[in-house]
Chains A and B, each alone.
Chain A
Amino acid sequence: MTTTAIAPAAGATEPRPGRGLSARLHGAAGALRRSPRMLVGLIILLFFVLLAVFGPLFIHNPNALGTEVLGRPSAKYWLGTTQEGQNVLYQVIAATGPTLEVGFVAGGISTVLSLLIGVGGAFIGGISDEALNLFTNVILVIPVMPLVIVISAYVQAKSLLPTIIIIAFTGWAGTARVLRALALSMRSRDYILAARVSGERPWRIVVVELLPNMTAFIVSGFIFTVIFAILTQAGLAFLGLGNTNLLSWGNMLYWAQADQALTSGAWWWFAPPGLCIALLGTGLSLVNFGLDEVLNPRLRSVRPVGGRTKARRQAAGSP
C-alpha cells in the first residue's frame, strides 16, 4: 500500500514482542498508576503476607488453653477467647500462613497444569489439542466441590498436602481454557509465524515468544485459582475434612460451629476468620480487576476514542 494507509495506532494494547525488563517494570508501574484497585489489592495482599511471615514471632502458642472461656474482646484478648479459652487473635495470626500456603501452592501447581494442558495443547495442535480441549471442558462442567469433598472423605488427610493436591488437580480447567484461546490467537500472530519460519525450536518459541506475552493472563489465572483454593480449603476444613487440629481459618470456623459459638453469641470467634478469608479474597480479586483494566482499556474510567480507531475497524472487517 501507499503511505496514505498508515493509520495512527490509537489505543494499541497488543502485547509486543521483545520488550526488555525495564520496559516491563515501567509498564507495571504505569498499570498501578492507572488502576487504584490494583494498588489497594496489592496492599491487602502484602498485609497478609507480612502477617503470615512475621506474625508468629509476636504471639504465644495459639492452642494454649486459658481459664477465660468464651471471653469477649478485651484489652488482654483483643479478639476474645474460644470455648477452650484459646486466644482468637493468636489463632487468626497463626492460621494465616497455612491458608496462604494452600492458596499459593495449589494455585501454582494448578497454573502449571493449565499451562501444560492449555498452551501445550494449543501449540501442538491437531487431534491432541482437540482431545485436551474436550477434557478441559468436561472437567469444567463437573462440579468440583462435591468431588473434592468425596475424595477428601476417602483420603482422610493428616496434613495439608493432600488437600493442596486435590485442589490443584481440580482447579486448573478454567484457566486452561482461557490460556488455550489466547495461545491459539497468538500462534497466528506475525512474530510467532516469523519465529516458526526461521526454524526456531518449538519449546523456545513457547518460552521466549509466547509465554512472556501471556504473563498478565497467566497471573490473572493464577490469582483466580488462589482464590478458588483458599475458598475450597476453607469449605473442606469447615466440614471437618482433613486434620481438624491443623490451624487454618476454615478449621477455626469448624470448631466455632462445632462448639455452638453461634448460639452462645460468640461472634468474635467466627467473625474474624471469615472476615480474613473474605478480605484476602477481595484483595486478590482487586488485583485481578486491575489486570483486567490494563488488558481491556475500555473498562477504564476514561474511555479512549470510542471504538472508532482505524486499526480495530479494519481488523474486524468482513471476512
Chain B
Amino acid sequence: MRYFTRKVGFYVLALWGAVTLNFFLPRFIPGNPVEVLLARMTESGNPPPGEYKVLSSVLGIGGGNLLDQYWHYLRQLSRLNLGVSITEFPTPVTHILAQTLPWTIVLVGTATVIAFLIGTTLGALAGWRRSRFLNNLLPVTTFLTATPYFWLALVFLYIFGVVLHYLPLNGGYDPTLDIGWSSSFIVSALQHSVLPGATIVLAQLGGWMLSMRNMTLTTLSEDYVWAAEAKGIRPRRVLLGYAARNAILPSVTGFAISLGFVVSGSIIMEIVFSYPGIGYTLLQAVQNDDYALMQGIFLVICLVVLGANFLVDMLYGFIDPRTRQAR
C-alpha cells in the first residue's frame, strides 16, 4: 500500500510542478502578451466580455503581486477556463483541446503499445536465442531510433503517398465524411492513421528491442533462470515466466522517459501529416502567437503524460511484488 500512496504523492507533486511551470512560462514573452492577444482578437471580431481578466489570469500576469497572480491562475484552471483561442476565434481553448486530444491519444497510445509489444518480443528473442538474424537487425533499428520522427514521416509520405499513391497524404480522415461512428468514417480514419502510426512504431521499436535484448542477456545469467533450467521446466515457460518476466521490469520503469520522447516526436510528426491532433494544433498556435492555446496544450500534454506514467507505475506495482512491500 505504501508504494501506491508514495506514487500518488509523487504524481500530485509532479502535476503541481507542471502547473506552476506553466504559470511562469509566459514571463518569457516580450511585451504584454494580453494586450497583444486582445489586439489580435479585435481584428477578428469582438472578444468575449471579461476576456482581458481571464487571459491575464491564465497567463499568470494579471494585477497584484506574484501570489495573487498565482491564485487567480489556479482559480481559472480549476474552472477549466483556459481563455479563448485566436487561431479559431472565439472558440474556448478547452473546446479545441477536447477536439484534438483524442486523435493524438488514440494514435500515439495505440502505436506505442504496439511498438512496445513487438519491440519487447523481438528483443527477448534476440537475447534468448542470440539469433543472428535478430541481432543483425539491431543496427537497422538503431538507425531508426536515431531518426527524427518527422523525417521518417516525410520519407514514408513520399514513398507511399507521393510515389506509390497507396495511402492518403494528410489529415486524419476524409473531410467529405461526417465525424462519427459510421463505418466509412472509421475506415477512413484508420487509413489515415496507418502512416503516422507506422512512423511512431518504427521509430521507437529499436529502443524497446535493444533494452529488452540487453536485459534478457543480463537476466539469462541470473541464477533463477539457470535453476529453472535445472528443474527441467519447459524452455517456453523458462523464457516467459523467468527470463522475460524479470527482464521486462526495467523496460516498464523506463516507460516514463520513453513516453516523453514519443510524445515529443509524435507532436512534430503530426505536422508532417497535418494530423488533426494536438501537435498540429500546437504548431498553429505557435504560428499565430496564440499564447492561451499554447499554454493549454502544454498543460494537457503534461496531464496526459503524467497520467500515463501513473498508470504504468501502478501496473509495475502489480508485476513486481517487491514494490508492494513497505521498505
Residue ranges of A at the interface with B (Cβ–Cβ < 8 Å): 134, 137-147, 149-151, 153-156, 174, 227, 231-232, 234-235, 238-241, 253, 256-257, 262-263, 265, 267, 270-271, 273-274, 277-282, 284-286, 289, 292, 296, 298-299, 301, 303, 306-307, 313
The answer, among A142, A151, A281, A313, for a CB contact under 8 Å with B17, is A142
Q: Nearest chain-B residue to A263 (Cβ)?
A: B162
Instruction: Give the distance in Å from the alpha carbon of A167 to the alpha carbon of B256 in the complex.
Output: 19
Q: Whole-angstrom distance between the alpha carbons of A145 and B146 in the complex? A: 16
Q: Which of B65-73, B151-159, B188-196 lies on the face that meets chain A? A: B151-159
Judging by beta carbons under 8 Å apart, are A235 and B13 in contact?
no
Tell me which of B25, B217, B260, B305 contacts A299 (CB under 8 A).
B217
CA distance A289 to B211 in the complex (A): 11
- Name the interface size band of chain B: 35 or more
Name the residue of chain A whose CB is nearest to the CB of B263. Answer: A143
A141 touches B21 (CB 8 A): no
User: Which residue numbers of B lie inside 8 Å of A, CB to CB?
Assistant: 10-11, 13-14, 17-18, 21, 25-26, 28-30, 130, 139, 142-148, 150-152, 154-155, 157-158, 162-163, 169, 210, 214, 217-218, 220-223, 226, 256-257, 259-260, 263-265, 267-268, 271-272, 282-283, 285-287, 289, 291, 294-295, 297-298, 301-302, 305-306, 309
B154 lies within 8 A of A298 (CB): no
Q: Which of B18, B142, B143, B214 contacts A296 (CB 8 A)?
A: B214
Q: Which residues of A contact B283 (CB under 8 A)?
A: 239
Q: Do residues A298 and B264 form an inter-chain contact, with CB atoms below 8 A?
A: no
Whose C-beta in chain B lies nearest to the C-beta of A280? Answer: B146
Q: Closest approach, in angstroms, between the C-beta of B324 and any C-beta of chain A?
A: 18
- Closest residue on chain A to residue B138 by CB atoms: A289
Chain A nearest Cβ from B113, distance in angstroms: 18
Residue of chain A at shortest CB distance from B254: A174
Establish whether residues B158 and A239, one from each chain, have CB atoms under 8 Å apart when the complex forms: no
Is B256 a contact partner of A141 (Cβ separation < 8 A)? yes
The residue in chain B whose Cβ has the minimal distance to the Cβ of A139 is B17
Supply 10 A–B pairs (Cβ within 8 Å), ascending by A: A137-B14, A146-B264, A150-B25, A238-B271, A278-B143, A282-B142, A285-B142, A289-B142, A298-B217, A306-B220
Given A143-B260, A144-B264, A151-B28, is A274 in contact with B302 using a C-beta cutoff of 8 Å?
Answer: no
Give B126 Cβ to nearest chain A Cβ, in Å: 11
Given contacts A141-B14, A292-B214, contact A235 B154 (CB under 8 A): no
Whether A307 pairs with B223 at a CB distance below 8 angstroms is yes
* Cα of A138 to Cα of B18 in the assembled complex, Å: 8
Bound form: Cα–Cα A253–B153 in Å: 12
Which one of A141, A150, A262, A289 contacts B306 once the chains associate, using CB atoms below 8 Å?
A141
Instruction: Determine if B18 and A142 form an interchain contact, defined as CB atoms under 8 angstroms apart.
Output: yes
Residues of B within 8 A of A154 (CB): 25-26, 28-29, 291
Contact A285 B145, beta carbon cutoff 8 Å:
yes
Chain B residue nearest to A307 in the complex (CB): B221
Which one of B154, B162, B264, B301 contacts A257 once the chains associate, using CB atoms below 8 Å? B154
Chain A hits for B210, CB < 8 A: 289
- How far apart sit A205 and B240, CA to CA, in the bound complex (Å)? 45
CA distance A301 to B213 in the complex (A): 12
**B14 / chain A contacts, CB cutoff of 8 Å:** 137-138, 141-142
Q: B residues within 8 A CB of A285?
A: 142, 145-146
Contact B147 A281 (CB under 8 A): yes
Whether A137 touches B10, Cβ cut-off 8 Å, given contacts A143-B263, A277-B151, A296-B218, is: yes
- Are the C-beta atoms of A149 and B158 separated by less than 8 Å? no
- Contact A262-B157, Cβ < 8 Å, known A277-B147, A278-B143, A306-B221: yes
Find chain A residues with CB under 8 A from B226 CB.
Answer: 306-307
Residues of A within 8 A of B294 (CB): 149-150, 153
Q: Assess whether A277 is in contact with B263, with CB atoms less than 8 Å apart.
A: no
Could you tell me if B217 and A146 are in contact, using CB atoms closer than 8 angstroms? Answer: no
Contacts of B17 in A (CB 8 A): 138-139, 142
Is the Cβ of B147 less than 8 Å from the Cβ of A278? yes
- The answer for the CA separation of A4 and B121 in the assembled complex, in Å, is 45
Which residues of B sit under 8 angstroms from A232, Cβ to Cβ? 264
Given A256-B154, A279-B143, A306-B221, 7 more A-B residue pairs with CB atoms under 8 Å apart are: A145-B268, A146-B297, A235-B268, A265-B162, A278-B143, A278-B144, A306-B220
**B142 touching A150 by the CB < 8 A rule?**
no
B46 → A minimal CB distance (Å): 26
Q: Which residue of A lies closest to B145 (CB)?
A: A285
Residues of B within 8 A of A256 (CB): 154
Known: A146-B301, A284-B146. A235 touches B264 (CB 8 A): yes
Smallest beta-carbon distance A248→chain B, Å: 12
